[in-house]
Amino acid sequence: MERIIIKTQTARSEILIGENWESVDGMLPGSGVVIITDDNVLDIYGDRFPQFPVFSIAPGERSKMFEVIELLAEKLLSAGIDRTGFILAIGGGVVCDVAGFLASIYLRGIRCAYVSSTLLSQVDASTGGKNGINLGNTKNVLGNFRQPEFVICDPSMLHTLPDEEFFSGLAELIKTAIIGNERLFEMIERNHEGILRRDTELLSLMIGMSVNFKASVVSEDEKESGLRRILNFGHTYGHAIEISGLARHGFAVASGMEIATSFSLLKGLISEREASRIRDLLNQFNLLREYNIPDYQIEQLILHDKKKTGTDLHFIFVNGIGKAVVEKIPVAEVLSFYKYYKSGKQIT
């Protein structure tokens, strides 16, 4: 088991990688605990949950809405949860987002922790303290920063994931490798079969590498005012693809990374060889799916991007495998490149 500590100016969070998720029972207060999960996780693991009240939400993005937060808050009140209360999330990124957001605003904030059950959540969503819910078609526009007390990442839980969910998470693992760890990128390239088998030891090692990188970024920039922006590599175009309903999060981000890589190539920030390695790795795991978003629609979606400031946007480019750079560029340039890319022109 690997223990990774995130320390910020206001909080301390422990990420436990390889820990048996059922050991969470011994980490909780004796009373005042509620568990938030989703219906799928409840069906698979519910009979082994700690003996506390369980509130289950529908799986997927449809639960990342304020109406769900309001309903859960009413349930906390009915359960008698006061300021000494504790929320334990058991689930993937949506469950952790919802639970973390609720914990941050209920009675002006109560304690929380996560058992992260998906690869997407283990490598990205449950680490770093970002909590967000959607407003209409705009992703994560309502949110805040609040670190969970601890996060358990048990790779054995990944064996129960549907293939689409597993590979969606793999895209975020590859993202971390592209922007911050060339050794992790090479490890993913070399271990195709082990990843497909969901080898627990291999996944523990790679999840640990990903979380260590993210922890170093978050510890330096908790509230995304600088360095932490690099974690959004592929997300500007990816979120637009996802919100259009054309792909789930990881696959949408994979396509967003391909576009951002081509944009980086056009700007001379990455070599053709490295760009090809990135595309080949995404294709190796069948992460690039067909999509076609009309120009007017991509424009409207990107105009709502949280990284936009006025007429500019903080865009993340790859500056060689294992490195990323943030540039503030006009939104018009982001839109123009999408049209250029979509036209199918060969970039050299």
* Separation of alpha carbons 33 and 76, rounded Å: 10
Any catalytic annotation for residue 267? no
64, 146, 235, 306: which one is catalytic? 235
Strand partners, 91: 116
19, 224, 242, 258: which one is catalytic? 224
64, 146, 229, 239: which one is catalytic? 239
Any catalytic annotation for residue 272? no
64, 111, 175, 228: which one is catalytic? 228
19, 64, 111, 130: which one is catalytic? 130
Q: Which contiguous run of DSSP H or E holds residue 313?
A: strand 312-318
Any catalytic annotation for residue 19? no
* Separation of alpha carbons 145 and 180, rounded Å: 22
Any catalytic annotation for residue 130? yes
Any catalytic annotation for residue 224? yes
Any catalytic annotation for residue 172? yes
Any catalytic annotation for residue 248? no
Residue with tokens 């903080």: 314
Any catalytic annotation for residue 3? no
Any catalytic annotation for residue 108? yes
232, 274, 277, 314: which one is catalytic? 232
64, 175, 249, 314: which one is catalytic? 249
64, 111, 146, 214: which one is catalytic? 214
Q: What is the residue-wise DSSP string for 56-91?
A: EE-SSGGG-SHHHHHHHHHHHHHTT--TT-EEEEEE
19, 61, 165, 172: which one is catalytic? 172
192-200: which pairs have CB atoms within 8 A and are 24 or more residues apart?
Answer: 192/284, 192/285, 195/170, 195/285, 198/155, 198/158, 198/159, 198/166, 200/155, 200/156, 200/158
Active-site annotation, residues: 108, 130, 172, 214, 224, 228, 232, 235, 239, 249
